[in-house]
Structure 1
């Protein structure tokens, strides 16, 4: 218990310090005109991996079986994201890297071929769904921190203390990052941090729930990730209807909340609270206090929420006529009306 608190505190302070240092270095030596650096995810990844590995190295805690490969795979995804932050990296390259890392995690988790194939697809989808969520100051950090804490509780209750410690450290690191990413953000996660966080959360969820009843696991994982899944479904449908490129931003749930009158900070708080509510439902399902059928109302809420949010106008009149500047969900913010509307990024 004391080691877990010490590890979480260390991760929080270390991430906050590293993020400040990275921001200062990028403002001094980075590209001209990049007022808000986007390599904050390096701080999150380094702090999470470093603190998690420190326990076994110092002999104060053991991570347990399966955690070391998970750390290695997540670190590899962080490196792929870092390359994408520094130079253009194709979507196919990122997807292949995620699939290979997910296959390694699923294989070591001992899943059957059928369940393993579904788990790989789910990990890749959730990884990119969390990357999509990195579009507005504070949103990704708040939602991911709450999700990580929920998964940590599930891991500890299920007899996986090593995974619980790792997820607690990740939640603390994201909280330290939020100190710099709360609106107005002074640094962004970038591909490195967004992909690392999404992959670690999704892979940890699969590892922790391997061997548990399928119905309960499905309901629990759906509840934990329903917010990011809804946001991804919303933006993909919205952009297809509007004839916009798949990576053109400005139309997430946070943007639509902003259009309805909420501030950027208010949108992050609302989404964080929504994630907390869904996480509490997932924990109740995990403890057996709620039956898996309790996730059905959440499944019904998703299409209703998508339809309602699609009715909120977020596109400018020139969105169909003028091609946008290309960017990826976690890259530097383009100067467009849609971004200004949300006070964030794409």
Structure 2
């Protein structure tokens, strides 16, 4: 207990300090997100990964919080996925390379002895999907980090129920590292998570959730895993439907994600993050209660209904700003103010 508190505190402080230190190198090297009004340095994910790995492995080496072979391999695989994401932040990487690399890493850590070959392969696909969905969530200040923190607490609670102490400690360390990063990522963000941090967080969270449900039936496991990642799923579903209906390429970036549409519906950037954070909390709570047996597995149907309702409502919000003369004038005024 005491080590868990000390580890979380260390990870939070280390991630906060590193997130501040990596801004200048990222700006000098040009590793920035240029989709926003001003370039945003993207080495925040490096700070999260380094803080998580250092604190988790230090506890394992000192013998105060053994990760175990499976959890240790999971963290190593997550670091490899983070390295691939870092390459994607520094230079252009095709989407299929990210998919393949993440899938290979997931395939290397699956507990096939408990899931079976078929279940393990399904889990590999799900972990890959969640990791890439987390990367897509990094489209607004503090969103991916907030979703990551709440999901880490939920999966950590499931791990504690299954008496997986090493996994629970790892998830608490990850949650703390993301919290330290959020000190610099809340709107207006001073540093971004990037593919490095978002892929790492999504991969570790999804793989950890699979570990907690290994040995359970496929249907009952889906009733836990889906609510834990419902908002990330909703974002992917919204983007796919919107771009299909508009006839746009699926992989072309556009401001048509959850937070973009919530902001166009009248919410502030902070308000959009809070609303989606509350949605994540609700889904995570259902997933944890189903895992503990306090809520029937049919509770997942309510979460699925909420996802469908959210997507259908936000589909009615324009996915991009109008291109008329009035909007052009407004954009010109904004440039003058910012200039």
35-44 vs 100-109, which moves further: 100-109
Match of 2:59 in 1: 55
Superposed CA offset, 1:129-182 (max 9, x none): 111111000111111110011100110111111110101111111111100000
Query: RMSD value over aligned CA atoms?
Result: 2.0
1:327 maps to what in 2? none
Length-normalised TM-score, structure 1: 0.88
Alignment partner, residue 296 of structure 2 = 291
Q: TM-score, normalised by structure 2?
A: 0.90
- Shift of residue 107, structure 1, vs aligned partner: 4.5
* Residues 2 and 28 (structure 1), Cα distance of their counterparts in 2 relative to 1, 3 Å cut: same
- Aligned in 2, Cα 1:107/1:217: closer, same or farther, shift over 3 Å? closer
Q: Is the 8 A contact 2:44 2:193 kept in 1?
A: yes
- Asked if 2 retains the 8 angstrom alpha-carbon contact of 1:67 and 1:163, the reply is yes
> Does the CA-based 8 Å contact 1:64-1:161 persist in structure 2?
no
Structure with greater contact order relative to length (CA < 8 Å, sep ≥ 6): 1
Q: Which of 162, 171, 189 is equivalent to 1:185?
A: 189
Tell me, which stretches of 5 or more residues in structure 2 are unaligned? 325-329, 335-339
Deviation at 1:316, TM superposition (A): 3.5
Partner of 1:248: 253
The residue that corresponds to 2:319 in the other structure is 314
CA distance, structure 1, for counterparts of residue 142 and residue 152 of structure 2: 15
Where 1:26 maps in the other structure, the secondary structure is helix
Report Cα offsets for 1:167-225 as digits up to 9, x if no partner: 11111111111000000000111110111111111111111210123332211111111
Aligned match of 1:267 in 255, 272, 297? 272
Match of 1:118, SS state, is helix
Partner of 1:17: 17
For the structure 1 residues 194 and 238, does the alpha-carbon distance in structure 2 shift closer, same or farther, using more than 3 Å as the test? same
CA contact (8 A) 1:85 1:192 kept: yes
Q: Alpha carbons of 1:115 and 1:214: their partners in 2 closer, same or farther (altered >3 Å)?
A: same
Tell me which residue corresponds to 1:3: 3
Separation in 2, partners of 1:299, 1:257: 20
Match of 2:135 among 124, 131, 142: 131
The residue number in structure 2 matching 1:324 is: none
Pick from 168, 184, 188: which aligns with 2:172?
A: 168
Unaligned runs of 5+ in 1: 320-336, 342-346
Preserved CA contact (<8 Å) 2:134 2:144? yes
1:138-287 equivalence runs, <5 A = 138-246=142-250, 247-287=252-292
In 2, Cα distance between the equivalents of 1:187 and 1:15? 12
Is the contact between residue 256 and residue 312 of structure 1 (CA under 8 Å) also seen in structure 2?
yes
Shift of 1:317: 4.4
Is contact 1:66–1:109 with CA below 8 Å preserved after alignment? Answer: no
Structure 2: how far apart are the matches of 1:239 and 1:233? 10
Tell me the CA shift for residue 245 of structure 1. 2.8
- State the aligned residue count: 322
